[in-house]
């Protein structure tokens, strides 16, 4: 799954990278979590891609969805329409995942080797109230090395050459999975301070170990 990520580039750099104007409310964030608004690229009004702040998480009477499986998103009733009509991209610098050994949960920061932006494939959902922001979920796929040793799922990440086809609905599921497997990633352990969404500073992504984890040193 993908339950926390970062987008910490300054506004001007993000705008330059995606070649779109950013909303005034955009701010760098080292700890983006579900229930928050995050920057997305989507064709919200059929006039072409635009950058907007969307709400992370689709609330239904039964559940609160933050992810959808790439393997079944095109056939699952909850996500099928958005798969065909409402795709989006979520720019990110990296994401967090937790390795569980049955006793503790060790957080990792996972990021592209070239330290550039990655773009998560997502689906967005029109709001029932026009005054609210559309919701989005992040698509996930089976993890590969080095992520599979940490968690069995990872976000689907698409290079810039696939963005237009993804947003238009032309990129097929198999192609998205293949492209998502081509992103070169690195991972390192980080402080457990990331567990709290109240912590948002740049130290969250610094490599650490249990011996120098400032959260552990409190005990």
Q: How far apart are CA 218 and CA 208, in angstroms?
A: 15
**The predicted structure's pLDDT at residue 20:** 96
**The predicted structure's pLDDT at residue 214:** 58
**The predicted structure's pLDDT at residue 81:** 97
**The predicted structure's pLDDT at residue 47:** 85
**The predicted structure's pLDDT at residue 219:** 33
How many residues does this entry show for the chain? Answer: 219
Q: How far apart are CA 120 and CA 201, in angstroms?
A: 22
Q: How far apart are CA 156 and CA 96, in angstroms?
A: 14
CA neighbours closer than 13 Å in the CB half-sphere of residue 23: 15
Q: How far apart are CA 14 and CA 33, in angstroms?
A: 19
Q: Give catalytic residues, as residue numbers.
A: 2, 97
**The predicted structure's pLDDT at residue 70:** 98
pLDDT in single tens digits along all 219 residues of the chain: 789 999 999 999 999 999 999 999 999 999 999 999 999 999 998 889 999 999 999 999 889 999 999 999 999 999 999 999 999 999 999 999 999 987 889 999 999 998 889 999 999 999 988 888 999 999 999 998 889 999 999 999 999 999 999 999 999 999 999 999 999 999 999 999 999 999 999 999 999 975 556 554 333
Question: What are the start-end ranges of the E strands in the chain?
Answer: 5-7, 29-32, 37-42, 50-56, 58-59, 64-65, 67-69, 87-92, 94-100, 105-112, 118-125, 135-142, 153-155, 185-189
Would you state the CATH architecture of domain 5-25+32-95+115-186? Alpha-Beta Complex (3.90)
């Amino acid at each position: 799954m993908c339950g926390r990520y970062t987008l910490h580039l300054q506004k001007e750099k993000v705008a330059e990278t995606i070649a779109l104007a950013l909303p005034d409310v955009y701010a760098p964030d080292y700890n983006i979590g579900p229930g928050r608004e995050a920057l997305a690229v989507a064709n919200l009004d059929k006039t072409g891609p635009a950058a907007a702040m969307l709400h992370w998480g689709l609330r239904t009477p039964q559940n609160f969805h933050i992810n959808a499986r790439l393997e079944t998103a095109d056939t699952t009733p909850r996500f099928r329409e958005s798969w065909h009509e409402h795709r989006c991209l979520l720019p990110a610098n990296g994401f967090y995942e937790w390795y569980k050994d049955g006793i503790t949960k060790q957080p990792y920061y996972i990021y592209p080797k070239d330290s550039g932006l990655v773009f998560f494939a997502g689906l967005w959902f029109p709001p029932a109230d026009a005054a609210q922001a559309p919701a989005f979920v992040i698509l996930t796929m089976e993890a590969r090395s080095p992520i599979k040793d940490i968690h069995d799922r990872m976000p689907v990440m698409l290079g810039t050459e696939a963005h237009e086809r993804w947003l238009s609905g032309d990129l097929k599921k198999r192609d998205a999975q293949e492209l998502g497997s081509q992103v070169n990633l690195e991972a390192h352990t980080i402080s457990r301070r990331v567990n709290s969404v109240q912590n948002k500073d740049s130290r969250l992504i610094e490599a650490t170990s249990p011996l120098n984890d400032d959260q552990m040193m409190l005990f």
